Amino acid sequence: MLKNGKPVIVTSQPAIKGALPTQAAIDETMVAKGFEKLTPGAYYDEKNGLLLYDLFPKNAMQAADGVIYPFDPVIQRIQPDFAEFLRENPDRIHDR
């Protein structure tokens, strides 16, 4: 979701009506927005050094017009060397 050309994070969704999107639909949306998919639910924006993860269907809503609204993804600024580590070890992204 963009406002004035900048990303906006929605932290609650009572006004958005819709259904849970599929993981494939979330992946397609994030790639279309310029993120690299590292593993399902985890994406990397190399230009801005941002890792976005925990973006699963339970954390998103797909409105009737097809727009997917993510809720509460984890966003972290990372260095290129850590991004490379995650590319090589994507199973480590969702470790807690």
**Of 56, 61, 62, which Cα lies nearest the Cα of 41?**
56
Read off the pTM. Answer: 0.80
Residue 54, beta-bridge partner list: none
- In three-state secondary structure terms, 8 is coil
pLDDT digits (tens, 9 = 90+) for 50-79: 999 999 999 999 999 999 998 889 999 999
Confidence at 2, pLDDT banded by 50, 70, 90? low
pLDDT digits (tens, 9 = 90+) for 16-54: 788 999 999 999 999 999 999 999 999 999 999 999 999
Exposed (0-12), middle (13-18) or buried (19+): which is 43, by Cβ within 10 Å? buried
